[in-house]
Amino acid sequence: EQCILDLLEEFPDVSFLLCGDFNARIGESSPTGDSLPADIVDMNDDIDAVAVHVRSSKDCGVHVFGTSLLGICEQFDLVVLNGLLPSDSAGEFTYISPGGCSVIDYFLVSRDMFMLCTSVRVVSRIESKHMPVELCVSVSHGARAVGGRGLPKRYVREKFVWDG
C-alpha cells in the first residue's frame, strides 16, 4: 500500500498493472462489485454484453490476506482480472499442491487500463506448484519520423517472459 502511495505522490497520473503471487485468497469476491464495472462496459463498444459476467473462481476460500488485498483494490480502484475475462471465465487455480489448490496469483489493473487487457490464461504445468499465468494486453505506440513527419507505427509484442 505504501509503495503505491509513494508512486502516486511522485506520478499522480500513473496507472498500475500489478501481478504475481499475492498469497491472498479472495474467492469470488471482487472489489468492483459482482460484475465487470458498468463504466467500463459503457465506454467500450468492443465489449460483448454476452461476455460480461460476474467474476468467478474455483477457489471459494477467503482469508485475511485476501480481505487486505480487496481493501487495497478498492482504495486504489484496481480491477482483479482473474476470473473476470472470458478467457478465464472459470477462475482457474493458480497454485496446486498436495495440500490443496487455490487462486493466489493475480493480475490487478487500474480501471483505466482494463480495456487494454484482452485475456488472462492459467497454463497447466508441472514444474512448479504455481501455474504460469499469462496476460495479453493490446497496446499501440505512436512514433513520428524526424521532422515530425511519418505515420504512427504499431508495435506488437506478443509475449513478455519474466526471468526472475
The pLDDT-based confidence of 145 (bands split at 50, 70, 90) is very low
Query: Comparing C-alpha atoms, which of 163, 156, 18 is closest to residue 82?
Result: 18
Inform me whether the pLDDT recorded for 22 exceeds 90.
yes
Mean pLDDT of the region 121-144: 83
DSSP β-bridge partners for residue 21: 105
Average pLDDT score, the chain: 81
Mean pLDDT of the region 135-153: 60
In this prediction, residue 42 carries a pLDDT of 52
Q: Which residue has the higher pLDDT, 101 or 41?
A: 101
Cell numbers at 112, concatenated = 483505466
Q: Rounded to whole angstroms, how far apart are CA atoms 90 and 73?
A: 21
Q: Are 136 and 160 in contact (CB under 8 A)?
A: no
Residue written as grid cell 506488437: 156
